[in-house]
Amino acid sequence: MIRRYLALLFFSAMTVCGAKAQVPSSFIRSAPWDEETLNAAATLPVQEGGRVMPLQSYAGFSLLAMNGKRSLRLPNGEKLDPTGFLLDLVFFPEQAEDYECFVVSDSKILDLIGVPAKKRRARYSYRALAKGRDALYAAASTASSRENQDLLDKQVMGLARNVQRFEEIRALGATANVQLHLPKDVSQALLGGDAPTGVSFLFDHWSELQEALGSSDDSDALNSFLEELDGMGREARLAPALFPPEVPVSEEPEWRNPVEVLYLGLTQPDAHVEKAVGWLASLETLARQRQDPAAFREELVRLRDSVRAEAERRGEYGTIASEVRLFNLHLVMRALIFFLLGFITIAFSWLRPKSRWLPRLSFLFTAIGVALTVTLVTWRSILRGRPPVLNLYDTILFITSIATLTGLVIELINRRRVGLSLSPILGVLGAFLAFRYEVKSAAISGDTMGQLQAVLDTNFWLATHVTSITIGYGAGLLATGIAIGWILMRALGVRRRDRTLYREITRMAYGVLCFSLVFSVVGTILGGVWANESWGRFWGWDPKENGALLICLSQLIILHAWRGGYIRQHAFNALVALQGGVVIFSWWHVNELNAGLHSYGKTEGVLFYLTLGYAFLGSMALLSAVAWLRDRGGSASSDPPSSLLQ
Amino acid sequence: MKSKKTEKPLAGALGAVGSLGTACVLLMLLFVLVFAATLKYKDLGEAGVKQEFFIPWIAHLGALPFPGGRTVFSLLALNLLVGGLIRIPWAWRTAGVLIAHLGVVVLALAGVVNFTRSDYGMATLYEGETINNYRDYTQVELSVWDASQTTDVTEYTIGDADLRSCSRQGRVFSSPELPFDVEVSGFLPHAQILPKGPMWEADSPVVDGWALKREDAGNTDPKYRVPALVVRVGDQTALLGAGDYMAWTFEADGKLWALHLHHTRHRLPFKLTLVDTVRENYPGTNTPKVYRSDVIYGPEQRKVTISMNRPLRTEGHVLYQSNWGRDRRGEYSGFSVARNPSDQWPKWSCWIIGAGLILTFFSRLVRYTVIQARLREKEA
């Protein structure tokens, strides 16, 4: 009878989720995590979102989604990296529940769930939110069923997702931290005392335990024990899959979380979980040794090595160490610093035009920034075994690489300091955008290297169509940057009489626009050819397809008008500036329309920045018109356009 | 001088038609149309934006009449032929532009051939099932057959064009092999057959308390339109819709006959058997990783796997994995089927346009780089 009851309890633990957490630990960490411990935990693999990733990446994206950054500063001044945060959450959950790691951007959410707010936007701990947890989940459920969700709905759902992320990480420690209190008579019989025990005990004494529980007279203690077991199972059910099955991938692709191993180990003798049961015991040992850094480190390294060996045997560990190294290098941050240095030095060179070393230094800094960005793009591509652009985050990195690299190539060709001035500016903007969007991406999908939908699973078309069109975006934006440079210089009267300089800048914008057109047109048609291959139709007037076509049309209009002599430098540069708006529309805005087969979903808050961007580009075009009115009396810009086509 | 004067009007007209200015204006008109269609896509869908912006000669942007896609595309084609291929100087300098324009012509021709000579449809198969035809997405046909026959059924059909011609005036169809005439009337491109109530106006005669109710076909994807009509045989009348599962049966000449309105069946030049169909998810998620169908086709019983991005191209037909499902009968695959003689032309046009643009761009880049190097030498 009791055997069936236990099996039933475990079964319910496997199927019921969303239950309230019960973590009995009251330990507070006495010393910071050391480097080796953090490294061992970081390189543990975990299967999440359909891919095997380092535990560090899982923790990093989770912390990014909750906290808006990959680190957490504690009140005592200690700065936790994602792995340290995860270790605290797993092995010191009571301490971690006080970490203020949840960014709540609107206090209305807290009013909704009955939690007192500090101010309109503030950080809160799990413990502070816990009292409104059930109300939060209910509000999120209501919000998700609404057809037209407003900003508050989305924020409620976002906070609920983050609370759940927190609970998922914490659940990794549920089997390790649990203290099971057996009925006294059973405890005496099996343990020789009445000390609480952990889950390993269940494996060691499962048969005896069932017999002993079946004959126990203490029904209250028995119920209490079963409730403890049930509570642990319910909480641990949320944990990510940490353990690879001990069979080839082709037989069992899905990894298991600790409680699944516990369930299989106890109820299915032929489940092949011998090693996993050992890993479960290892987690328990880690929980016991959490205040002994050396012993903890030793056990963690042993666990990591054992799990790694199994993952390697299944061919699923190949890129883990490389991914950890990639994220530890913080390439976007470093690139941003070098682009900033490049910009500062070139800005100084504007003040000292005769200086020779300032442009060289700027070139060096910018080139390092470009190299770091290109390295990041290439590294991510190698890690995934895919072409460089798979999602919106990738497009930011790739476009930044293309635009900055092309700027430097222009500089190498004509040494006018125009490409050199633009490259670091675009680099800074790109790196900043990458930072911002990574946070959004982590909140939405929990990963920037997630798996592809079935229809996108083709390296050939990703390498040709997506790469071409993204190069077209990058070059189109660089052309816009050059045109804006021309307009601002003209409006501010910089070297007003230097007709050659202005002609050269327009010539650069023209060349880069042609470069963009090549890739935009080829990329757009290739997109149609791909659609024909996968959907059986070449063109469906879908917003994303139209966006690409609009870029081609805008560039063709400008180039035909220029070639026909209908526009001169002021109008040309104004139109190229506006063409940047078309690129932005196609790159970002069509996603906000939330329609068509290419819809990647809306990104909250983007419309505001898009509007700012359009307003800025429009004002640049107006400024060019004002400059034209001023220059009409005879100036550098009155050359016939044919001179630019030499 | 005299001869010059006589040539001038034609040359002038050609010049205007093929000018860069005309190209600019037409490209701008197309830009506005495409932009408007993009903003309206969410409300109208693919069929709606085609119908509203690209198929008509005159479109409307709000209340403002505007040249429709058909007008703009026709004029652009003319402009391209005259200005981009005939009047443009044929020289090495313009070789890249000429090649690119030629590629655009190939692309435009592909569109014309696709519009006029292709058909698209769908075939759904359960595992183990064999087919030799597919159903058109849009065209319908009316079939008549002797319902008492169980093998080698002879079927008589009335085609899509004939049925659509019955929208305003009824037509009578007869065959020497049929002992009755079939009168078709009131064809509606998209309709429902509903019990006639007081709250709506019927778009057909009321038959046994039922009538046709016209639906908005303009903004409904042609794939999802349900054509319907009124059919009369002798003194018996019926309302038929292309969505009807069962055929209408009636007696004539002492036999039981069946009449059924359905999407036109196109014959495949081979038999196709679905052996196995698979949906595979990424581990631990509900995100599909792959949809795959193992099929056998043709007299040689060739085995091939069709999956997304890997269609089967054979004997002028292309079969795409476009649907997958499971129900009480088992697992099934839906294949989109296309017969488009210009299927591969866009790919060729892409390479031609790409080659032309690359030639143009790199020739100018090389010239620019050389000039810049000389300038730097001078400055030094």
Query: Do B10 and B69 fall into the same domain?
Result: yes
Mutate which: B107, B309, B318, B335, vs A, most A CBs within 10 A: B309
* Residue in chain B lying closest to A540 (CA): B46
**Cβ under 8 Å to A: B residues 106-145:** 107, 110-111, 114, 120
Strand (E) or helix (H) holding A53: strand A51-54
Chain A CB contacts of B367 below 8 Å: 646
Q: How many residues does chain B have?
A: 380
Mutate which: A416, A525, A535, vs B, most B CBs within 10 A: A525
Mutate which: B30, B38, B307, vs A, most A CBs within 10 A: B38
Over the stretch A340-371, which tens digit does the pLDDT of each residue have?
Answer: 999 999 999 988 888 989 999 999 999 999 99
Q: What is the pLDDT of residue A316?
A: 96
Cβ distance of A507 and B288 shorter than 8 Å:
no
The reply to whether B26 falls in a domain is: yes
Give dist(CA A23, CA A81) in Å, integer.
23
Mean pLDDT confidence for A368-384: 97
Chain A CB contacts of B50 below 8 Å: 541
Chain A CB contacts of B346 below 8 Å: 525, 528-529, 532, 538
Cβ distance of B357 and A522 shorter than 8 Å:
yes
Query: Do B170 and B226 fall into the same domain?
Result: yes
The set of residues, in sequence order, having a beta carbon less than 8 Å from that of A570 and lying 6+ positions away, is A490, A624, A625, A627, A628, A631, A637
The reply to whether B276 falls in a domain is: yes
The reply to whether A6 falls in a domain is: yes
Chain B CB contacts of A560 below 8 Å: 20, 23-24, 27
Chain B CB contacts of A566 below 8 Å: 20-21, 24
**Cβ under 8 Å to A: B residues 302-321:** 308-309, 311, 318, 320
Inform me whether the pLDDT recorded for A174 exceeds 80.
yes
Give dist(CA A456, CA A493) in Å, integer.
50
Q: What CATH number is given to the structural domain containing A512?
A: 1.20.120
The reply to whether B298 falls in a domain is: yes
**Cβ under 8 Å to A: B residues 337-356:** 337-338, 343, 346-347, 349-350, 353-354
Query: Do B250 and B168 fall into the same domain?
Result: yes
Query: Do B25 and B143 fall into the same domain?
Result: no
Return the sign of the alpha-carbon dihedral for residues B74, B79, B84, B90. Answer: positive
Mean pLDDT (chain A, rounded): 89
* Minimal Cβ distance to B318: which of A254, A536, A563: A536
The reply to whether B367 falls in a domain is: no
Query: Do B246 and B280 fall into the same domain?
Result: no
pLDDT band at A22, cuts 50/70/90? very low
Q: What is the pLDDT of residue A646?
A: 34
* Minimal Cβ distance to A593: which of B41, B111, B353: B41
Give dist(CA B7, CA A133) in Å, integer.
85
Query: By the CB < 8 Å criterion, does B46 face chain A?
Result: yes
| Residue where one domain finishes, among candidates A261, A287, A317 | A317
The reply to whether B359 falls in a domain is: no
The reply to whether B158 falls in a domain is: yes
* Nearest-CA distance A109 → chain B (Å): 29
Give a three-class secondary structure readout of chain B: CHHHHHHHHHHHHHHHHCCHHHHHHHHHHHHHHHHHHHHHHHHHHHHHHHHHHHCCCEEEECCEEEECHHHHHHHHHHHHHHHHHHCCCCCHHHHHHHHHHHHHHHHHHHHHHHHHHCEEEEEEEECCCEEEEEEEEEEEEEEEEECCCCCCCCEEEECHHHHHCCCCCCEEECCCCCCCCEEEEEEECCEEEEECCCCCCCCCCCECCEEEEECCCCCCCHHHCCCEEEEEECCEEEEEECCCCCCEEEEECCEEEEEEEEEEEEEEEEEEEEEEEEEEECCCCCCEEEEEEEEEECCCCEEEEEECCECEEECCEEEEEEEEEEECCEEEEEEEEEECCCCCHHHHHHHHHHHHHHHHHHHHHHHHHHHHHHHHHHHC
| Residue where one domain finishes, among candidates A317, A337, A358 | A317
The reply to whether A478 falls in a domain is: yes
* Minimal Cβ distance to A533: which of B282, B309, B372: B309
Half-sphere exposure of B374 (CA within 13 A, CB side): 6
* Minimal Cβ distance to B347: which of A511, A529, A550: A529
Cβ distance of A535 and B336 shorter than 8 Å:
yes
Query: Do B310 and B334 fall into the same domain?
Result: yes
Q: What is the DSSP string of A128-172?
A: HHHTTHHHHHHHHHHHHH-SS--HHHHHHHHHHHHHHHHHHHHHT
* Nearest-CA distance A325 → chain B (Å): 25
Give dist(CA A94, CA A276) in Å, integer.
27
Query: What residue numbers bound the domain in which A10 lies?
Result: 1-66+173-317
Cβ distance of B346 and A529 shorter than 8 Å:
yes
Q: What is the pLDDT of residue A194?
A: 76
Amino acid identity, residue B149?
A: Q
Largest CA distance in chain A: 106
| Residue where one domain finishes, among candidates A317, A352, A369 | A317
Query: What residue numbers bound the domain in which B299 lies?
Result: 119-131+267-339
Of the ranges A9-18, A162-171, A327-336, A630-639, which one carries the lowest mean pLDDT score? A9-18
Query: Do B319 and B294 fall into the same domain?
Result: yes
Q: What is the pLDDT of residue B21?
A: 95
Chain A CB contacts of B309 below 8 Å: 455, 457-458, 461, 530, 533-534
Query: How much of chain A exceeds pLDDT 70, in percent?
Result: 93
Query: Do B113 and B123 fall into the same domain?
Result: no
The reply to whether A156 falls in a domain is: no
Query: Do B142 and B246 fall into the same domain?
Result: yes
Cβ distance of A451 and B54 shorter than 8 Å:
no
Over the stretch B124-144, which tens digit does the pLDDT of each residue have?
Answer: 999 999 999 999 999 999 999
Q: How many CB pairs under 8 A join A and B?
A: 162
Q: What is the pLDDT of residue A272?
A: 85
pLDDT band at A148, cuts 50/70/90? confident
Q: What is the DSSP string of A507-560?
A: HHHHHHHHHHHHHHHHHHHHHHHHHHHHTS-S----HHHHHHHHHHHHHHHHHH
The reply to whether B285 falls in a domain is: yes
The reply to whether A388 falls in a domain is: no
* Residue in chain B lying closest to A500 (CA): B375
Chain A CB contacts of B37 below 8 Å: 541, 546
Half-sphere exposure of A430 (CA within 13 A, CB side): 37
Mutate which: A532, A554, A599, vs B, most B CBs within 10 A: A532
Query: Do B216 and B178 fall into the same domain?
Result: yes
Give dist(CA A84, CA A66) in Å, integer.
15
Amino acid identity, residue A200?
A: S
Cβ distance of A534 and B367 shorter than 8 Å:
no
Query: Do B58 and B125 fall into the same domain?
Result: no
Over the stretch A434-477, which tens digit does the pLDDT of each residue have?
Answer: 999 999 889 888 889 988 888 888 899 999 999 999 999 999 99
Chain B CB contacts of A445 below 8 Å: none
* Minimal Cβ distance to A515: which of B39, B289, B361: B361
pLDDT band at A198, cuts 50/70/90? confident
Cβ distance of B357 and A517 shorter than 8 Å:
yes
Inform me whether the pLDDT recorded for A527 exceeds 50.
yes
* Residue in chain A lying closest to B84 (CA): A560
Mean pLDDT confidence for A137-145: 95
Give dist(CA A551, CA A77) in Å, integer.
50
* Nearest-CA distance A182 → chain B (Å): 34
* Nearest-CA distance B243 → chain A (Å): 24
Inform me whether the pLDDT recorded for A639 exceeds 60.
no
The reply to whether A44 falls in a domain is: yes
* Total domains in the fold of chain B: 3
* Nearest-CA distance B80 → chain A (Å): 12
CB atoms within 10 A of CB A129: 22
* Minimal Cβ distance to B41: which of A521, A536, A541: A541
Cβ distance of A454 and B291 shorter than 8 Å:
yes
Over the stretch A294-321, which tens digit does the pLDDT of each residue have?
Answer: 999 999 999 999 999 999 999 999 999 9
pLDDT in tens, chain B (380 residues): 444 445 577 778 888 899 999 999 999 999 999 999 999 998 888 888 988 999 999 999 988 999 999 999 999 999 999 988 888 889 988 999 999 999 999 999 999 999 889 989 999 999 999 999 999 999 999 999 999 887 888 899 999 999 999 988 899 999 999 999 999 999 999 999 999 988 889 999 999 999 999 998 777 788 889 999 999 999 999 999 997 889 999 999 889 999 999 999 999 999 999 999 999 999 988 889 999 999 999 999 999 999 988 999 999 999 999 999 999 999 999 999 999 999 999 999 999 999 999 999 999 999 989 988 888 888 77
The reply to whether B252 falls in a domain is: yes
Inform me whether the pLDDT recorded for A65 exceeds 70.
yes
Chain A CB contacts of B361 below 8 Å: 514-515, 518
Over the stretch A393-437, which tens digit does the pLDDT of each residue have?
Answer: 999 999 999 999 999 999 999 888 999 999 999 999 999 999 999
Chain B CB contacts of A454 below 8 Å: 288-291, 308
Chain B CB contacts of A466 below 8 Å: none
Q: What is the pLDDT of residue A599?
A: 64
Chain A CB contacts of B288 below 8 Å: 453-454
Cβ distance of B350 and A522 shorter than 8 Å:
yes
Contact B258, B244 (CB under 8 A): no
Higher pLDDT, A79 or A16: A79
Contact B96, B358 (CB under 8 A): yes
The set of residues, in sequence order, having a beta carbon less than 8 Å from that of A220 and lying 6+ positions away, is none
The reply to whether A352 falls in a domain is: no
Query: Do B106 and B164 fall into the same domain?
Result: no
> Cβ-count burial of B208 within 10 angstroms (0-12 exposed, 13-18 middle, 19+ buried)?
exposed
Q: What is the pLDDT of residue A645?
A: 36
Mutate which: B26, B32, B41, vs A, most A CBs within 10 A: B41
Given the structure tokens 């883990």, which residue do they identify? A320
Chain A CB contacts of B108 below 8 Å: none
Q: What is the pLDDT of residue A26?
A: 53
* Total domains in the fold of chain A: 2
Higher pLDDT, A255 or A188: A255
Helix (H, G, I), strand (E, B) or coil at A73: strand
The reply to whether A464 falls in a domain is: yes
* Residue in chain B lying closest to A250 (CA): B283
Q: What is the pLDDT of residue B45?
A: 84
